[in-house]
Structures are given as structure tokens and as C-alpha cells.
Structure 1
Amino acid sequence: MSAAEWKKRCEAEWGLQDAPMPDSLDWKSLYEAKPFRRNLLRNPAPYGLSKDTPPPEPELCQVPTCGPPHFQPDGDFRGWTTSTEILPYDTSGIPAGAMVCEMPQYSWFYMEQIVDLKAEGLWEELLDDFQPEIVIQDWYEESQLDESIYQLHVKLLGADKSTVISEHTVHPSEDLSIYSHTWKEVSHVFCGYGPGVRYVHFLHRLKNQFMIEFFPTMFTGSSVIVRATKTRY
């Protein structure tokens, strides 16, 4: 097909009749990149789990394991930048003089990715003028290890990767009085964010517990999806 035919095909299949579509772009390559309605995050389920299946129940070993504390979960985290923050023991509720044999220790496990929107097939005129919706979704395990087990912070960044144009933060509290071991959804739609967006910085952290054995809080189905929907002002 000719360049004009590839452009027309992109316009029709993606519903971009009102979007800026410069003739200078390589529309065949953009069509093959399929920048819309696909997950732009790499490796969205490092534990190999699906939100359509309940998270597995923790398995307790018959014989307690020996060895140093384990603060980072096991999984295939390729595509993610990871780090661990070990939290100090919480001794606030222990009476003076009490003997403590074992206490749980917690850690935050950080996972983050930066999505290059232009590298994924989006173009500057589209991001600046049309400002398509950028949809964020995540699913975390209701592990009930603590009242705070999950945090999400997503930022839309400029070309320098440091200018924050828009951001969204989630820090829910868990109800520990009811046992409900399931997946919990977190989602947000960025729209009307203004010109200049070139990157999406996706960061979440989940709390783990070590007390003789290691108990993680898992996640699955993380996604950053661009929809060919024009921002309405």
C-alpha cells in the first residue's frame, strides 16, 4: 500500500478522524507498532498469576525454615526495576518489661517501569493536541498482612523525564476485620493532562512480612493502555 493508504487505514481502524496525522510520519511502521489498546508495560504478571483466578492461599511449612530473613519475593521481574525497603520493628504496643520471642518484620517491595510513548508508536502532535486517554490498571492481592499493603504512584513525564505534567497516587487501607482473600482492582484514566507528555512512570509497592516464614503480597495484570479517545475539554 502507499503511504496515504497506510495513513487512511490507521485513521479508520483507530478512530482518529479528529486527530492530527502529519503526512511526514511513517504510517506503515506506526500501524505495525499498534500503539492503541495494548498493554505498554512489559511483564505485567511476574508471578504467573491471573486476576481471573483467586490468589493462592499461603502454604505453611510443616517444619519452620531456618536461615536469614527473606524480604524480597520470588518471581520473574524482567522488565521491572525493583528495590526493597526493610521497615523497623513496631514495638509501640509491647508493654514495658514484656518478653518477646518473635515479632513480624515488614518490608516494602518496589517495582517500577518507564514507558516511552513515542517509542511505542505515538507521535508528538497526537500527545500534545489530541491528548488520548491513558488508562492505568493494577490488581493486588488482599493479603491482609497489614492495614497498608499496597501503594501506586503513576506520573506523566515530559521529554526530560523529570518534569511531572500529571500524576495519580493510590494508598488504600485494608479492612482486617473481614477475611476476603481476593484480587483488588486499582484503576485511573488520565485525560486533559496538557501538552508535553512523553513518558509514563509506573511505580507500585507491596508489603511483605517475615515471621519465621516469608509472606508476600502479590500483584498481577498491571497495565498502561492508550485509548484513541480525544480528551474533551
Structure 2
Amino acid sequence: MSATEWRKKCEAEWSLQGAPMPDGLDWKSIYEAKPLGRNLLRNPAPHGLTKDTPPPEPELPEVPTNGPPRFQPDGDFTGWTTSTEILPYDTSGIPEGAVTCALGQYSWFSMEQVLDLKAEGLWEKLLDEFQPEIVIQDWYEETQLHVSIYELYVKLLGADKSTVISEHTVTPTEDLSTYSHTWKEVSHVFSSYGPGVRYVSFLHRLKNKFMGEFFPTLFTGSSVIVKPIKTSS
């Protein structure tokens, strides 16, 4: 197929009529990269779980192991940049002079990916003029671990990776009065974000607790999908 035929194939299959489709691009490589409609995140479910099945109930031993302390969950985090923040003990609810046998210690486990949209097959004129929707989705485990167990920070970045063109933050609080233990969805659609977007930074943090045993907060189904939908101006 000629370059023109590959360009027309991309335009037809992705319903990009009216989008800028400049000559001179390697349309065969763009078509094979399939940058539109697929999840650009690598390894979206490091715990091997799916949102279509309820989160597993924790299996507690009859006798607590009591250490050593753990602050990072099990999983294959290939493709993610990870870090751990161990939080100080919270003694705010303990009366002065009271004796405590044990306190739970919390930690944040952070996972980030920075996506290069051009390397994924998208082209500058499409991002700058057509501005296709960029759809974010994530699922985290609802638990009674703490009132704050999940945070999401997504940024659309310029070519220098430091200029923030648009961003979305989610910091929910949990209802500790009921126990449902389901997956909770977090989603957002970026549209009309303006020209210059070249990277997407996707970072979420999940809170874990150690108190004799390790109690993680799990996640699954993270996704960043660029859809062939022109956003309104």
C-alpha cells in the first residue's frame, strides 16, 4: 500500500474525517501502533485482579506474625515507577497518659507512568488542532482501612515534560460506617485542553497499613485511552 492508502485507512478506521492528516508522516507505522482506542498504560493490573471479580478478602493467620513491618504490596509492577512513603504514627485519638499495646502504621505506595504520546503513534497536528478526548479510568479497592486510601493525579504535559497544560486530581474519602468491599471507579475525560500536549503523567497512591499483619489497598484496570472524538472548542 502507498502512503496515501495507509493515511486513508487510518482516517476511515478511526473515523477521523475532518482531522488533520498531513502528508509526510509514516502512516503505516501509525496504523500499526494503533494509538487511538487502546490502553496506553503498561501493566494496568499488577495484582492480577479484574474489576469484574470482587476484591479478595484478606486471609488472616490464626496467630499474627508480628513482623517484620512491610510497607509495599506484592505484585508485578513492571512498567511503573514506584515509591513508598511511611507515615508517622497517628496518636491524635489517644488520651494523654494512656498505655497502648500496638498502633497501626500507614504508608502510601505510589505508582506512576509518563506516556509519550508521539512515541505511541499520535501526531502533533491531531493533538494540537483536533484535540481528541483523553479518557482516564481506574478502580481501587473499597476497604475500612482508613478514611483516605486513594489519590489520583493526572497531568497533560508539554514537550518539556514540566509545563502542565491540564490536570485532574481525585482525593476521595471513605465511609467507614459500612463494609461493602467492592471496586470503586475513578474516571475523567480531558477535552478542549488546548495545543501543546505531548505527554500524560498518570500517578496514583494507595494507602497500606501494618499492624501485626500487612493490609494493602489494591487496584486494577488503570487506563489512559485517546479516543478519536473531536472535543468541542
Structure 1 match to 2:2: 2
- 1:65-214 to 2 correspondences below 5 Å: 65-214=65-214
Aligned letter for 1:210? F
Output the amino acid matched with 2:174: E
Count matched residues: 233
Separation of aligned partners in 2, 1:89 and 1:220: 28
Match of 2:24 in 1: 24
What residue identity is the alignment partner of 2:13?
Answer: E
Amino acid at match of 2:122: L
TM-score for the superposition, normalised by structure 2? 0.99
State the AA in 1 paired with 2:97. G
Q: CA RMSD in A?
A: 0.7
The equivalent residue for 1:217 is 217
Please report how far the alpha carbon of residue 143 of structure 1 lies from its aligned counterpart in structure 2 after TM superposition.
Answer: 1.7
Deviations, residues 168-205 of structure 1 (Å, cap 9, x unaligned): 00000100001110000000000000000000000000
Moved over 2 A (4+): none
State the 1:67 CA deviation: 3.2
User: TM-score by structure 1 length?
Assistant: 0.99
Residue identity in the other structure for 1:116: D
The worse-fitting range, judged by mean Cα deviation, of 150-159 and 66-75 is 66-75
Q: By how many angstroms is 1:228 displaced?
A: 0.5
1:65 is displaced (CA, Å) by 1.2
CA distance in structure 2 between the partners assigned to 1:119 and 1:10 by the alignment: 17
Distance 1:95 1:158 in 2: 50
% identical equivalent positions: 80
Any unmatched runs of 5+ in structure 1?
none
